[in-house]
Amino acid sequence: MSRQQPVQIILAAEAEGDLQAIYNQRLAQRGAEGLDGAEALLDRLFDAIASLADFPLKGPIPPELLAIGIADWRQLSLPPYRIIYTVAADVVTIAIVADGRRDFASLLERRLLQKT
């Protein structure tokens, strides 16, 4: 069985902002270093995102979107964080990286469904 070429990964500006906010929050809470520091958390999030290069369809469709018949988006979970992305041809676009404990339905509506 031949292996597909890795896909390109693009971070949308909003996702970059999400990662910066997550980093800043963790930095304020626990500092930069250590197993639960901001640097380690950012490394884990980037590792999860990088894994999509080889397996872009591995994440399930977010249940909030599936419930309303939208199947264009997928998610990865790195509890408590959720990474929302879409796959088009050979490109994965990361749209949201956020704490899954928040009102995710509202976040998805605001960031994905209201774009024109």
Residue 85, domain CATH: 3.30.2310.20
Q: Per residue in 49-106, pLDDT tens?
A: 999 999 999 999 999 999 999 999 999 999 999 999 999 989 999 999 999 998 998 9
Kind plus residue range of the DSSP H or E element containing 51:
none
Domain of residue 16, residue span: 8-114
Spatial strand order of the sheet with 73-78 comes to: 8-11, 91-99, 81-88, 73-78
85 within some domain: yes
Query: For the whole model, what pTM was predicted?
Result: 0.90
82 within some domain: yes
1 within some domain: no
55 within some domain: yes
Q: Point out which residues pair with 9 in neighbouring strands.
A: 92
Give the total number of structural domains in the chain. Answer: 1
Mean pLDDT over 24-43 rounds to 90
